[in-house]
Structure 1
């Protein structure tokens, strides 16, 4: 047992072996840069989640430590993110104001327990059931919805609604209540953040600054922009003329307690928690895999479940809300030189110092500035090009992506991913229920066999070959029976039918029964049933049954061997003395 524990600890904390001063200095620098980005983001995403700003800071301390200890990625930075914040807002929107904070913490705690449970069941493979087009379309839809939701803070109205249409309708109805000072501040913040993201690095490089340093300065620019707006708001006392500000942010470390809520509320949070857990796991693991690929490292999906689960339990225990891996902060951490999970622990320590000593400085920060920060961050999440590429490549996958995007906008962020996953699986099942099963023939003079409807190939009237381009299971077994019956009815001279099983990876019990039925029907018609190109694993499973004892034909190693045995080339040698072909 001690050996197992030691192996697990070595695998988890192997980065400590050989850890040196150079790595420590790199982690410290990366942590400082990430913290500069995280402080305003934590406030902004808490605002997006419909929670007080302090909750965003609370969600940026203990979850980072928990993931660093249990997660498998060395560069992933967890914490509040735009998509999970929006999903949290949609979940707690109907709760009374006095229960929203504890409700959000309870939601995070349930998400964590679900992820830990999935980790214990080694359910990391479930990520494979959520297709990349669904994830891309979902994130694009959520980002678009977030941008629309933040427009109310830019123009200074109450707004409302959970879907894109209801939000736009609410904004149009309150058009006459727009605050001029809020629009000026919001518009200026949008312009400055946009320039910081798109122009500052380029201008610095042209001025002679190194590319690496220019990128760092451009990423740190938002904190300076926010500082300017805080000073301007405080000096001009803009709150007195109608500008909404963050207000008092209580200082100190987060209170640590389990988020106890009524049983009825706990039950109502189960379904949203499951959806958040799926999105958090898929999004975080995709980001972690992308970062690991750059370093030629690997990610363990089951350990990611434990790491994210522990991070969310820590968030709920420390009065935060649901978290996941952040693409933007993780990329900044990697590019700033972060090499080990220690950088996340240092970020947590710096955020704790912020919570204890710097929160009074945040009071005059305009909400419009935080909304502008959220909008600019979400612009990078919009990926309509990916949806278009998916549509061009595959209409079915494109339909899934478009449906997911529209579901987020029209039904709300909670249902978008469910619509995408269910539709993707339904279309997949539809495809496997009606697999492509063409008759094939041989390219003249070769051993290659292709679809007879698409290529000019040699075919035989007596021997027909049906290629099955899908595994055989209960849902498509009857389709195979019908296809074989159709072939028999159209070819009166048929004496042998070959099932070419190149793409058949599995034959389940229902499909085996269908093969028994096909074999018996063909025997009654005087036709033999054969197999070719069957994978050894599938053939070995067939040997466990008595089907091969009753098979009227044979199992051939290759399609060409089958055709040579059943339809050999004519022997023209007897004509050598009679025909001279020039």
Structure 2
């Protein structure tokens, strides 16, 4: 049977390469990392399930098969996949218009959303579309995550204050301030203070007691476990549930049963856009984390195979009744600090979580919801990246506006509107930049074969020769600006008889650009001015050779500006052997 090679898994011969080349020396690190990361994942995944509007055990279910599925295809040796804050919030925001949060239909929609997202990601991986990670710029991603993190924080404040309802805006939250439960608030503030201390200073203090830096950082990352254990102990001993402290409630024991059901056509259509959005965001976030981790160990990742891995992980989550998952920075950080060497650590984490589900999971029924809310709050605070906004604003205010606009869009318009606004701002910014191309008149640096901008350097020029370098692709958004610049230069140099266009920075000329060049050439012919080209790149030349303009309107095409100057200038200095050696070729 013939298989289309374009539809074969990318790098198929390298699937599970980490297992085929596994070293026994790595086993200890993977086992320890798997156990430690599982301990950290338990409260975090439960918290993110609550954030997604789902029963807390769904977070545990979403931490089983995804870890194993990612190990089959993933190229990151230490990234941990599972529920994360952003995808949890997106799940709630995207599904809330379709079903009541907490209903059986809502749970089914969350499962179908994960399944559809997984299928999309896997198909994109087969089509080798890993380049999609480049379509969301860093300002858009940073702004989206910052805005989403603020939404997440507001969504958890009612749990921190012991409020019965979940206000959807800061104004509604203030209006519901009166029934604050002081016991819940006290527990939440103590837990919050401890976790903030653990995040900022605990590692340094532990090092003062002789604990190694890596071990100290790992212990600090595991601080939420202490909060969970103390919360359970206080609730059970003090019977806090009877005193008005909201708790998780009944939690089923045992592993989830495999879920497989098909949505009807109308539901599938309603989920297509949410699945596409959550797929794109989860892929970009996961690839960013995987690349960051790979750089630490001088490794590399394959975005196409990451698509396959994330697709498999999300399908696995859906099969066990979970929701959409992706790579998580905090859980991956714990994985690295604990000594993970390969994806086997993730498999071990899945087995540990499965064992906990089979044994002690019902104990978490007494866990106060305020503890999970605090875990979420502390996890998302660092995601509000004000430093990125300051850097972007100082470097390029348009980038800063894109970042701030995306964050504001998420807060005002919601998840979908924020992403669309961010992408739109990026496109507008790029078009704005492209529409203002840099066009320079150049001359020869005396005694050399180098050519520089006449406004920045002391250079030699020829009265009848005007050399203009276009430093941008020529396309519909900038053709008028380029034409105006050339015509203005001709007015400034009225003795011009030879116009040399240097295209060393031009990678593409679209049809609008070609029409502009044709009209410009016709106008120059009437003024007895010849047009020449220099340093045209190979792909651009291939396109131009198919046109009448290059054959009928362009006098000469030179491989370098140096040769063009020698040929077109009044004294026509001959090209020496040394000059020839330094003459750039058309690429």
Q: Same fold (TM over 0.5)?
A: yes
Q: Residue 279 of structure 1 contacts residue 417 of structure 1 at CA under 8 Å; is this kept in 2?
A: no
For residue 499 of structure 1, give the secondary structure of its aligned residue in structure 2.
strand
Q: Which of 51, 68, 85 is the equivalent residue of 1:65?
A: 68
Secondary structure, counterpart of 1:108 in structure 2: helix
> CA, structure 1 residues 570+38, in 2 after alignment: closer, same or farther (shift >3 Å)?
closer
Name the counterpart of 1:578: none
Q: Map Cα deviations across residues 432-456 of structure 1 (whole Å, 9 max, x no partner).
A: 2332223333444444433334455
Are the counterparts in 2 of residues 259 and 317 from structure 1 also a CA contact under 8 Å? no
C-alpha deviation, 1:159, in angstroms: 4.6
Contact between 1:38 and 1:329, CA under 8 Å: does it hold in 2? yes
Tell me, yes or no, if the aligned pair for 1:91 and 1:272 is still in contact at 8 Å. yes
Given that residues 103 and 259 in structure 1 are in contact (C-alpha distance below 8 angstroms), is that contact kept between their aligned partners in structure 2?
Answer: no
Select 1:559's aligned residue among 561, 564, 568. Answer: 561
Alignment of 1:296-315 (within 5 A): 296-315=298-317
Map residues 319-358 of structure 1 onto 2, 5 A cutoff: 319-358=321-360
Within 5 Å, give how 1:76-225 maps onto structure 2: 76-94=79-97, 95-96=99-100, 97-162=103-168, 166=169, 168-225=170-227
1:114-168 CA distances to partner (integer Å, 9 max, x unpaired)?
1122222221112112111211222122222212221111001145455xxx2x1
Correspondence 1:239 to 2:241 = yes
Deviation, 1:460, is: 4.2
Change (3 A) 1:353 1:160: same
Could you tell me whether the CA contact under 8 Å between 1:102 and 1:260 is conserved in 2? Answer: no
Match of 2:30 among 6, 27, 32: 27
For this pair of structures, how many residues does the alignment match?
A: 567
1:265-319 deviation line (CA, Å, top 9, x unaligned):
3222221211111100000001111111222221111111111111111112221
Q: Give the unaligned 5+ runs of structure 1.
A: 572-582
Matched, 1:46 2:49: yes
> How far has the Cα of 1:338 moved from its partner?
0.7
Separation in 2, partners of 1:436, 1:403: 27
Measured against aligned partners, the alpha-carbon deviations of 1:468-527 in whole angstroms (never above 9, x if no partner) come to: 111123443344344434444554322111111121012234433332332222112100
Per the normalisation by structure 2, the TM-score is 0.91
Q: 1:468 aligns with which of 455, 470, 475?
A: 470
Q: Name 1:426's counterpart in structure 2.
A: 428
Give 3-state SS (helix, strand or coil) of 2:420's partner.
helix
Measure, in 1, the Cα distance between the counterparts of 2:123 and 2:38: 31
Quote the Cα distance in structure 2 between the aligned partners of 1:334 and 1:477. 51
Provide TM-score, normalisation by structure 1: 0.92
Query: Please, which moves more after superposition, 46-55 or 541-550?
Result: 541-550
Tell me how far 1:41 sits from its aligned partner: 0.4
Residue by residue, what CA displacement relative to the aligned partner does 1:151-206 show, whole Å, maximum 9, x if unpaired?
111001145455xxx2x111110111111111011111101112222222222211
**SS of 2:383 mapped into structure 1:** coil
Distance 1:495 1:278, change over 3 A: same
Give the direction of change, closer, same or farther, for the CA distance of 1:450–1:150 in structure 2 (3 Å limit): same
Distance in 1, Cα, partners of 2:369 & 2:570:
82
Q: Contact 2:249/2:365 (CA < 8 Å) preserved in 1?
A: yes
Which residue of 548, 553, 557 corresponds with 2:550? 548
Q: Tell me the distance in 1 between the aligned counterparts of 2:481 and 2:227.
A: 64
Query: Are the aligned partners of 1:43 and 1:56 in contact in 2 as well (CA < 8 Å)?
Result: yes
Match of residue 275 from structure 1? 277
Let me know the Cα RMSD of the aligned residues: 2.3
| Structure 1: distance between partners of 2:329 and 2:570 | 62
Question: Which whole-Å CA distance do the structure 1 matches of 2:554 and 2:150 have between them?
Answer: 61
Partner SS, residue 344 of structure 1? helix
In the aligned structure 2, how far is the partner of 1:327 from the partner of 1:468? 43
